Each structure stands twice: as C-alpha cells, then as structure tokens.
Amino acid sequence: MDAFFEIEKTRTVSTQKGVYQKIVDIEVDEDGLLTHLKNFDFVTLFRKEQAGKVRHYVYYKYYNLKEQQQPKKATKEEFEKSHQLHWHIEEFHRAKKQLCNAENFLVRTRKAVQNHIFSVYWAFVTLEEYVINKIYTNWYQFKNKITYQTIKTNLT
C-alpha cells in the first residue's frame, strides 16, 4: 500500500534518530529523502517548486516491520507519477467548485442538499463529456460561452 500527500512546511521529520527538524530546514535533493515523519512512519520527502511556491510532499511505501523489512524509499519516477495523478484530482475539485456551483448551497433540507450534490456531479460529467467529444477544448470554454451569451443578451 502506497500513499502520497502534500504536507505543511511546519511538520517535523527526523533524519537522525531522536532529532526532529521542520521540513523547511532540511536539505532535500531531487531524488527525495527517506526520513521519519513525526507521529507517523518512514516516508520519502520531496520538495517541488510550483508557481513560485515551494511545496512539500511525502510518499509512503508500506513495509512490514514484523517481517523485518526495511523502510522503502520512493523513486523520483513514482513521485512524478503520483504527483501528476494528484494534480488531476486538484483540477477536478477546482472545476467542480468554479464551474459547477458546488459551494453555493442555498438549500438546507437533506433531500435538497442531496439533489444539489447530484446536480454538481452531473454537470461535471457533462462538461467532461463535451471535452472528450471535442465539442469544447476545455471545461472553461463552456462557461465563457454562456457568460458571453448572457452578457450579449442582457446588454443589447
């Protein structure tokens, strides 16, 4: 079982037994650093700069201590593959919020909330279908078209 997640820069790790430091104070090369994440287990720490911000990620590879296995270091290729999948998930959540009105619940009853959530996912699947079938080149093109038509209709 492997796991991949972003981590806050204030979390502490140990590169030497019993000595913990904040991850921002540790030197991490491109291939990552096998280290112990406080209150968790051994992980491989990666540092990546994106949009002018430094982000920290950990990749956890399961090992069985009972079978006397050693902690395993994740490779850079594993990290890049997981990071790409992680980014697609982030894009999905951003589109769901920005394009499908996921955050604006103007209802309070249980059934109405369920209907709203269903409608959000239905709208996203429809947007994705438009992109797959090459009706639009991306999700945002559809929103721009509707916005343009609304403005044109109401201002002329």
The structural domain count of the chain equals 2
Burial of residue 83 (CB within 10 Å: 0-12, 13-18, 19+) is middle
Is-contact 60 2, C-beta < 8 A?
yes
Burial of residue 129 (CB within 10 Å: 0-12, 13-18, 19+) is exposed
Helices 110-132 and 139-155 pack at an angle, to 10 degrees, of 100
pLDDT tens sequence for the chain (156 residues):
788 889 998 999 998 888 999 998 999 999 999 999 998 888 999 999 888 899 999 999 887 777 767 888 999 999 999 989 888 988 999 999 999 989 888 888 999 999 999 999 999 999 999 999 999 999 999 889 989 999 989 987
| 7 and 70, same domain (yes or no) | yes
Using a CB cutoff of 8 Å and minimum separation of 24, what contacts does 18-24 make?
23/56, 24/54, 24/56
Q: Please give the structure tokens belonging to residue 8.
A: 């806050």
| Residue where a domain stops, chosen among 59, 74, 89 | 74
| 65 and 119, same domain (yes or no) | no
Residue 100 to residue 84: CA distance in whole angstroms: 23
Is-contact 89 83, C-beta < 8 A?
no
| 110 and 149, same domain (yes or no) | yes
- Which amino acid is located at 127 in the chain? L
Is 116 among the domain residues? yes
- The domain containing residue 135 runs over which residues? 101-155
